[in-house]
Structure 1
Amino acid sequence: MATKILLPMDHTDDRSWKKALPIALEQARFYGAELHAVSVIPEIIQLPNLPANYGAGAKDHVGKAVQAILDHNSASDVPVHIEEGSVYREILKLAHKDGFDMIVIASAKGDFPNYEIGPNLARVVRNAHCTVMVVRD
């Protein structure tokens, strides 16, 4: 039984949520569980030609974009977590730290031999402490 469900979302790629969001909402209703969304901003390497505050405001921008997606899909009450770093590591850290017991994650189109299992998805499935539901495209 799930009590807390985590849905990783990429606001720039609707394949990350278009099919997974309705299924995550359905699972949350079925189990009476909390549903949370997470979006990870990849680390920006500090290059000498970039200003010190490069990327400032990124969390707010991504948070608003994810919230707009949730609002448009009748999921306004879903809390949003915005993390920075390695995508799979941040998903796994949040899931473990906050006691999520299910991750609903979308597959992505890939090339042979991975087809629909990208490196972040593979690492989440392989290393998660909890159940991972993969929603195929």
Structure 2
Amino acid sequence: MVRAIVTAFVDPVLDLHESEDGYASAQLILREVTDPSSGTRPEIRALFEPIAEGFTQAIRAALPHKPARFHEWAYLFSVGALTMSAFDDRVGAAPSAARRTDKRDALKRYLVAALRDAEPE
């Protein structure tokens, strides 16, 4: 169930990178997500709050044994990993199609492992 949630979260964003128009849209979204003041703009909150709420509820249902506030932090950390993966030029000179496939798979494995294995101290 966690992998399905991560896939539903990651794939639409990374799918945007498959076309020139989609890539430009993804960059605009990335800029808004990483802007600290974006949460104060009602238009941006209206777009992203349903995603945050849906992700948090799905993770809470899949991982109900996690401690209080874990699910909200899980969303924020997942957004961070997803948005920072846009800066994949540090990975190396792999062909772009291979890089996209590798990134998608690696990001999903990373998030699934983090969500499943995070334990309170």
Superposition TM-score, scaled by structure 1 size: 0.28
Name the one with the larger strand percent.
Answer: 1
TM-score scaled by length of structure 2:
0.30
Higher helix share: 2
Greater RCO, CA 8 A, separation 6+ = 2
